[in-house]
């Protein structure tokens, strides 16, 4: 099982000091957080994509490439990549490039985004959200899997004899997850392709996550990719820890009370009871996290949100120490002991290359033959 962190890339005032970090400060902080994630033994770092304040992460591949250069084992991912408003051609190019730079340590999580105004900024219409996600992703897959693409669709200009470069590393495209909070259509899309499904698992009660995951697993089996319990599931989660649970609650409360998404609503205690949020000791986080398996089954990836709502860098790094030293080693051992042998791990570049029968260079040397896709 993979463990890691995901960030939304928000720039939020620290409610305890009233101070808001600059973009420069927050961008550097995220780089530090990512490097620290590898240092403490986590597996995955996933970065969000947004195109408006208060978020900084408009260019995930630039950021992830820098992190790739500074790390050696960390799997780089997104949370999420906007499949609706990004040109699938540019996603194909950018992430194949990142895959080469990172020696294959790359996967992506597709999302529709939750910011309505972003659609017109990129010349799209929010009413086409689901259709855009369906068409764009189908094209993205084709661009990664076929050297020469002739394509015509509804939402972008046609492609004639187009080759997306660079070709995927070793001839194997990055693994793709699909993230959604509330759309069964997205779970259906993930199931159709045999891709992974990731539930944010932060904002809503566990019963909702359970329904979405059960639906995805059932449809994964329906489409013939394996049994329902072999589907590839990832979960988010939100934790704040101190050695002493009362210290955690006291310290996190002002951040909770003022958090942009759920602040000024339910109390910390109510929200903790209603959603997977855990504020307490490392032991409490371990117990709660192990309990996720009770309602989603054996799953492959657990990402925690730890750097939002204005939490200062120093605090975030302390959270990473606790995750790496006390929480993840126990979770790794316990989840592994429970997982039956027929349930696969999350695909990695190595496992995908092995499944494809070994690495093959897929460079397309110009000029290509647009009929067969073969280089001369």
Partner 1 sequence: MTTRTLAVVSAGLSVPSSTRLLADRLTAATVEALEARGEDTTVEVVELRSHARDLADNLVTGFANQELRTAVDTVTGTDGLIAVTPIFSASYSGLFKTFFDVLDKEALVGKPVLLGATAGTARHSLALEHAVRPLFSYLRAVTVPTAVFAASEDWAGGGGVDRALAGRIDRAAGELADLVTGRLAAVRPVDPFADPTTSFEDLLRGR
**Which residues make Cβ contacts (< 8 Å) with residue 143, sequence separation at least 6?**
88, 89, 92, 149, 162, 164
Compare residues 97 and 130 and give the one whose CB is closer to partner 1.
130
Distance (Å, rounded) from C-alpha 216 to C-alpha 202? 18
Tokens of 214: 């059960």
Q: From 158-166, 200-208, 230-238, 280-288, give the range in contact with partner 1 by CB under 8 A.
A: 200-208
| Per-residue binding letters, 272-301, with partner 1 (x by CB under 8 A) | --x---------------------------
Q: How far is the CB of 204 from partner 1 (least distance, A)?
A: 5
Asked if residue 318 binds partner 1 (CB under 8 A), the reply is no
| Whole-angstrom distance, CA of residue 283 vs CA of residue 309 | 24
131 lies in the site for partner 1, by CB under 8 A:
yes
Residue 278 and residue 291 in contact, taking contact as beta carbons nearer than 8 Å: no
Minimum distance, C-beta of residue 223 to partner 1, in the bound complex (Å): 8
Query: Among residues 32, 142, 211, 348, which is the contact residue for partner 1, using CB under 8 A?
Result: 211
Output the DSSP codes for 89-139: HHHHHHHHHHHHHTTT-BEEEEE--S-TTHHHHTT--GGGHHHHHHHHHHH
**Tokens 């975030």, located at residue:** 316
208 binds partner 1 (CB under 8 A): yes
For partner 1, the binding residue among 27, 138, 313, 330 (CB under 8 A) is 138
User: Among 116, 127, 154, 357, which residue sits at the site for partner 1 (rule: CB under 8 A)?
Assistant: 154
d(CA 10, CA 309): 7
Beta pairing class for 107-111 and 196-199:
unpaired
Query: Three-state DSSP class for 59?
Result: coil
Q: Is 204 in the site for partner 1 (CB under 8 A)?
A: yes
Question: Using CB under 8 A as the criterion, what x/- string covers residues 160-199 for binding partner 1?
Answer: ------------------------xx--xx--x-------
Sequence-separated (6 or more) residues with CB below 8 Å from residue 194: 220, 223, 225, 226
Nearer to partner 1, 66 or 262 (CB): 262
> What token pair was written down for 144?
């990664």
Tokens 């997205």 locate to 186
Output 218 or 250, the one with its CB closest to partner 1.
218
Binding positions for partner 1, rule: CB under 8 A: 130-131, 134-135, 138, 153-154, 184-185, 188-189, 192, 203-205, 208, 211-212, 214-215, 218-219, 222, 262-266, 270-271, 274
């Amino acid at each position: 099982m993979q463990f890691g962190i995901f960030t939304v890339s928000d720039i939020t005032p620290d409610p305890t000091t009233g101070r808001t970090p600059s973009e420069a400060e927050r961008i550097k902080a995220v780089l530090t957080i990512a490097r620290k994630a590898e240092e403490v033994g986590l597996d995955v770092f996933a970065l969000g994509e947004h195109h408006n304040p208060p978020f900084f992460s408009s260019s995930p591949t630039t950021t992830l490439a820098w992190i790739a250069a500074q790390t050696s084992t960390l799997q780089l991912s997104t949370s999420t990549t906007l499949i609706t408003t990004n040109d699938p051609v540019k996603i194909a190019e950018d992430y194949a490039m990142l895959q080469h730079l990172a020696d294959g340590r790359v996967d992506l999580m597709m999302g529709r985004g939750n910011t309505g105004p972003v659609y017109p900024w990129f010349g799209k219409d929010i009413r086409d959200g689901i259709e855009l996600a369906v068409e764009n992703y189908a094209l993205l897959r084709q661009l990664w899997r076929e050297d020469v693409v002739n394509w015509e669709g509804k939402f972008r200009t046609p492609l004639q004899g187009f080759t997306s470069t660079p070709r995927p590393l070793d001839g194997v495209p990055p693994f793709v997850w699909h993230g959604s909070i509330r759309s069964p259509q997205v779970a259906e899309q993930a199931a159709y392709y045999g891709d992974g499904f990731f539930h944010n698992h932060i904002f809503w009660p566990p019963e909702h996550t359970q329904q979405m995951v059960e639906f995805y697993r059932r449809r994964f089996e329906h489409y013939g990719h394996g049994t329902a319990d072999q589907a590839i599931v990832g979960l988010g989660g939100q934790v704040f820890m101190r050695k002493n649970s009362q210290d955690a609650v006291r310290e996190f409360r002002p951040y909770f009370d003022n958090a942009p998404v759920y602040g000024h609503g339910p109390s910390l205690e109510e929200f903790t009871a209603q959603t997977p949020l855990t504020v307490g000791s490392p032991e409490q986080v371990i117990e709660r996290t192990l309990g996720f398996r009770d309602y989603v089954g054996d799953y492959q990836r657990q990402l925690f949100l730890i750097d939002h709502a204005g939490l200062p860098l120093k605090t975030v790094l302390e959270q990473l120490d606790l995750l790496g030293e006390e929480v993840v080693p126990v979770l790794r051992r316990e989840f592994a002991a429970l997982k039956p042998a027929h349930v696969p791990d999350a695909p990695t570049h190595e496992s995908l290359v092995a499944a494809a029968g070994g690495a093959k260079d897929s460079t397309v040397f110009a000029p290509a033959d647009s009929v067969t896709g073969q280089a001369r």
